[in-house]
């Protein structure tokens, strides 16, 4: 079972929910994976302190021009949709950061003047934190697209294994790549106008992708009831409400777990775990009937 | 004219609240919201939209079955697993393109031997030129699950520069997106200065380092504001140490303050309701930001 944790707005507590839930679940589910798909700003390891057992770079093929064979016809530039190739006079310049490694230029070149060479875009990490398996990545600074690295990080989880996937902020390509193929999406929000606005965008996104989802309200009790009202109107299940508490912010700031670090907080994550399990079971039953 | 970009790496550090407050302090500024897939600044500044433009960012492709010879070449050349094969009876199978997996590279379209693939240009977002109570504002909305946010960010910045030229504005203040990927790169390249709003949490520090490395990579003068600075004094000190080692100026420190959330919940700009002490801190942040001079 793959559960993705996303939010739309950043800083609502995605990583907090993901690491606390994953760690709590690993008490009874050994072999569970925590997968940090926020390869732009990975934070899960700061809380889980996994023992890293393997690290390797990820390379993508990028074009390299053989100037002796190139006649400057510009066909490669015409096909490139990402402006990664430029023609200066009769010389082709490559901007590898902009290249998406689609291979179009290599196919377009009529003189076999383009070969693809590996280019490092980031690193992949594997490890273990107690009973919890860890997989994550780190995008190299200056590389624009996180999507290929996220794909690779997700592929570290064996097919049949359960995983919690921690998504990056927003709703664009890296988030879509993270939640693709998930069995369930948890949307973490906070009861503020920003949180609600971005929750609505996130809800539209997961609905468009046809994924089942539920909501966790973090920092609940900030006197803004609109989020609860919205969920009720839309028929969206709220699986847990974690209260607003400066203590939680302090425990988080030190990189500690909320469910073990603050007396009384374990119940919020336990409740989330139980409701989530029930949700997923009911989905599985439905699909068996069909 | 000075173009100031405010980013944070990590979300939830108070970046947008601070941008709105700086907009209230800056005279002759154009404001731009470059967080195009989760834009929030308009919720605080309630701009009146004066002009709406369509954004055609993405290209999508579809296969016209009557022309398709089912050769499968598109599936072979697509590196994004976006061509799906549907098996029918016997040899009868067909292909389609998954718009979500598709990265719009056009390789299938260009190389289909039967020209059976058609390109569709679709509206993937909207760009707004507006006016709010402190001046002009440019913002955008990216369509749900649409790609090319970097391109839309570039368009927001371009339009903001045009408005600034027209009005002889002194500043462009940009609310940037989280992360270090394409929309962030598109927000900061060529800007004069970057303000990073961080918080003293170990995640905040880790994200600050990566985003500061990014501004360093592009050679952009960078300053830092530590918001919620008394939440964790140890990490706050680590941020100060990191900044002094990296030759990054700390332009402001703002204590953990429920006024931020309170203002947000009521849809107010924190500066407008701030206590004298908090207002003085935001004022001094703005003064210090003004002293920060771009790298030539």
Tens of pLDDT, residue by residue over A200-255, are 999 999 999 999 999 999 999 877 789 999 999 999 999 999 999 999 999 999 99
Chain A hits for B38, CB-CB cut-off 8 Å, are: 8-10, 169-171, 197-198, 201
Its pTM stands at: 0.94
Which has the closest alpha carbon to B263: B253, B275, B273?
B273
pLDDT at residue number A284: 81
Q: How near does any CA of chain A get to the CA of B54, in Å? A: 18
Tens digits of residue pLDDT in B209-231: 999 999 999 999 999 999 999 99
| B51–chain A nearest CA distance, Å | 22
Q: State how far the Cα of B40 lies from the Cα of B44, in Å rounded to an integer.
A: 7
In angstroms, the CA A94 to CA B35 distance is 29
| pLDDT at residue A221, as a whole number | 87
The runs of H, that is alpha helices, within A30-154 are 44-48, 75-79, 104-108, 147-154
Contacts of A82 in chain B (CB under 8 A): 105
Give the pLDDT score at A30: 87
CB atoms within 10 A of CB A250: 16
| Contact at CB, A146 and B79, closer than 8 angstroms | no
Task: Find the residue in A nearest to B76 (Cα).
Answer: A103
Pairing of strands A51-65, A114-129: antiparallel
Q: Which phi and psi angles does B54 have, rounded to 5°? A: -85, 145
CA torsion through residues B171, B177, B180, B185, sign? negative
pLDDT in the model for residue B59 = 79
Contact between B164 and B172 under an 8 Å Cβ cutoff? The reply is yes
How far apart are the C-alpha atoms of A46 and A34, rounded to whole Å?
13
Residues of chain B with CATH 3.30.70.20: 59-121
Whether residue A104 and residue B110 make contact (CB cut-off 8 A), yes or no, is: yes
Chain A residues in contact with B214 by the CB 8 A cut-off are 141-142
Which top CATH class is B2-56+125-291?
A: alpha beta
Whether the pLDDT of residue A130 is over 90: the answer is: yes
Give the chain A residue nearest B199 (alpha carbons): A253
Does the beta carbon of B161 lie under 8 angstroms from any beta carbon of chain A? no
Nearest to B22 by CA among B240, B195, B253: B195
Average pLDDT over residues B66-77: 94
- pLDDT of residue B291 exceeding 70: yes
Residues of B in contact with A197 (CB under 8 A): 38, 40, 43
Range A2-58+124-289: architecture per CATH: 3-Layer(aba) Sandwich (3.40)
The beta-carbon neighbor of B105 closest among A42, A102, A146 is A102
Interface touch A46/B235, C-beta < 8 Å: no
Domain ranges of chain A: 2-58+124-289, 67-112
Other beta carbons within 10 Å of B223: 21
Question: What pLDDT is attached to residue B123?
Answer: 85
Residue B263 forms contact with A (CB below 8 Å)? no
pLDDT at B24: 94
> Quick check: A257 pLDDT over 80?
yes
Residues of B whose CB is below 8 A from A250: 231-232
Distance from CA of B168 to the nearest CA of A (A): 31
Quote the mean pLDDT of chain B.
94
Q: Where in chain B is the domain with CATH 3.40.50.300?
A: 2-56+125-291
Residues of chain A with Cβ-Cβ distance to B239 below 8 Å are none
To test the contact with chain B by mutation, choose from A8, A141, A257 the residue with the greatest count of B C-beta atoms within 10 A, namely: A141
Report residue A7 CA to chain centroid gap. Answer: 10
pLDDT band at A289 (very low <50, low <70, confident <90, very high): low
Is the pLDDT at A186 greater than 60, yes or no?
Answer: yes
Q: How far apart are the CA of A288 and the nearest CA of chain B, in angstroms?
A: 23
Does residue A290 register a pLDDT over 60?
A: no
Interface contact flag, A209 B100, Cβ < 8 Å: yes
Q: Mean pLDDT of all residues in chain A? A: 94
Which value, in Å, is the radius of gyration of the alpha carbons in chain B?
A: 23
User: At the topology level of CATH, where does A67-112 sit?
Assistant: Alpha-Beta Plaits (3.30.70)
A170: left (phi over 0), alpha (psi -120 to 50) or beta: left
Euclidean distance between CA atoms B180 and A10, whole angstroms: 13
- Structural contact between residues B112 and A107, judged by C-beta atoms closer than 8 angstroms: no
- Which of 163-202 (B) contact A at CB < 8 A? 177-183, 185-186, 199-202
Angstrom distance (rounded) from CA B286 to CA B118: 52
Cβ-based contacts of B181 with chain A (< 8 Å): 40, 139, 143-146, 174
Binning pLDDT at 50, 70 and 90, where does residue A288 land?
low
pLDDT of residue A160: 83
- Contact A224/B80, CB-based, under 8 Å? no
Distances B204 to A10, A111, B178, B264 between C-alpha atoms, Å: 12, 50, 12, 21
Fold (topology level) of B59-121: Alpha-Beta Plaits (3.30.70)
Nearest-Cα residue of chain B relative to residue A191: B265
Distances (CA, A) of A29 to A4, A154, A161, A274, B116: 17, 19, 10, 13, 49
Count of A-B CB contacts under 8 Å:
184
Interface probe for A, chosen from B37, B101, B124 (most Cβ of A below 10 Å), is B37
């Amino acid at each position: 079972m793959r559960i993705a944790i996303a939010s739309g707005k950043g800083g609502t507590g995605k990583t907090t929910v993901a690491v606390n839930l994953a760690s709590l679940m690993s008490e009874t589910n050994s072999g569970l994976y925590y997968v940090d798909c926020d390869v732009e700003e990975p934070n899960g390891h700061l809380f889980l302190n996994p023992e890293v057992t393997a690290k390797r770079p990820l390379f993508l093929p990028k074009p390299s021009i053989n100037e002796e064979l190139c006649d400057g016809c510009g066909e490669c530039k015409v096909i490139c949709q990402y402006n990664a190739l430029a023609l200066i006079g009769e010389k082709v310049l490559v901007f590898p950061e902009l290249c998406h490694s689609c291979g179009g230029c290599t196919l377009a070149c009529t003189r076999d003047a383009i070969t693809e060479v590996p280019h490092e875009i980031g690193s992949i990490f594997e490890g273990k934190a107690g009973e919890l398996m860890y997989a994550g990545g780190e995008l190299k600074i200056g590389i624009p697209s996180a999507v290929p690295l996220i794909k690779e990080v997700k592929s570290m989880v064996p097919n049949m294994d359960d995983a919690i996937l921690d998504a990056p902020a927003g709703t664009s390509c890296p988030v879509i790549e993270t939640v693709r193929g998930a069995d369930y999406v948890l949307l973490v929000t906070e009861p503020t106008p920003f949180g609600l606005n971005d929750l609505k965008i996130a809800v539209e996104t997961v609905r468009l992708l046809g994924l089942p989802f539920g909501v966790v309200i973090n920092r609940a009790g900030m006197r803004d009831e609109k989020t609860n009202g919205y969920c009720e109107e839309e028929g969206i299940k709220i699986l847990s409400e974690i209260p607003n508490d400066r203590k939680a912010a302090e425990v988080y700031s030190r990189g500690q777990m909320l469910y073990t670090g603050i007396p009384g907080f374990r119940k919020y994550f336990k409740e989330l775990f139980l409701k989530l399990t029930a949700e997923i079971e009911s989905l599985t039953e439905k699909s068996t009937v069909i | 004219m000075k173009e100031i970009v405010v980013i944070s790496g990590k979300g939830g550090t108070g970046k947008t609240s601070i941008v709105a407050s700086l907009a209230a302090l800056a005279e002759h500024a154009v404001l731009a919201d470059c967080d195009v897939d989760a834009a929030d600044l308009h919720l605080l500044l309630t701009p009146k939209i004066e002009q709406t433009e369509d954004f055609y960012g993405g290209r999508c492709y579809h296969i016209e079955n009557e022309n398709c010879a089912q050769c499968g070449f598109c599936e072979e050349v697509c590196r994004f697993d976006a061509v799906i094969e549907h098996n029918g009876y016997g040899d009868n199978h067909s292909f389609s393109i998954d718009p979500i997996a598709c990265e719009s590279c056009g390789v299938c379209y260009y190389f289909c031997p039967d020209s059976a693939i058609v390109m569709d240009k679709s509206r993937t977002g909207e760009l707004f030129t507006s006016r709010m109570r402190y001046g002009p504002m440019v913002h955008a909305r990216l369509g749900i699950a649409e790609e090319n946010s970097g391109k839309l960010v570039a368009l927001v910045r371009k339009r903001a520069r045009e408005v600034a030229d027209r009005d002889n504005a002194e500043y462009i203040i940009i609310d940037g997106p989280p992360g270090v990927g394409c929309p962030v790169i598109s927000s900061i390249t060529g800007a004069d200065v970057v303000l990073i709003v961080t918080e003293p949490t170990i995640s905040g520090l880790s994200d600050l380092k990566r985003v500061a490395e990014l501004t360093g990579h592009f050679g952009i003068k960078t300053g830092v504001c530590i918001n919620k600075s008394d939440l964790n004094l140890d990490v706050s000190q680590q941020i100060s140490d990191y900044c002094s080692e990296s030759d990054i100026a700390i332009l402001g420190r703002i204590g953990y303050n429920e006024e931020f959330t309170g203002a947000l919940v009521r849809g107010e700009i924190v500066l407008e309701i701030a206590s004298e002490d908090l207002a003085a801190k935001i004022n001094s942040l703005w003064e210090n930001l003004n002293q920060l001079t771009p790298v030539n």
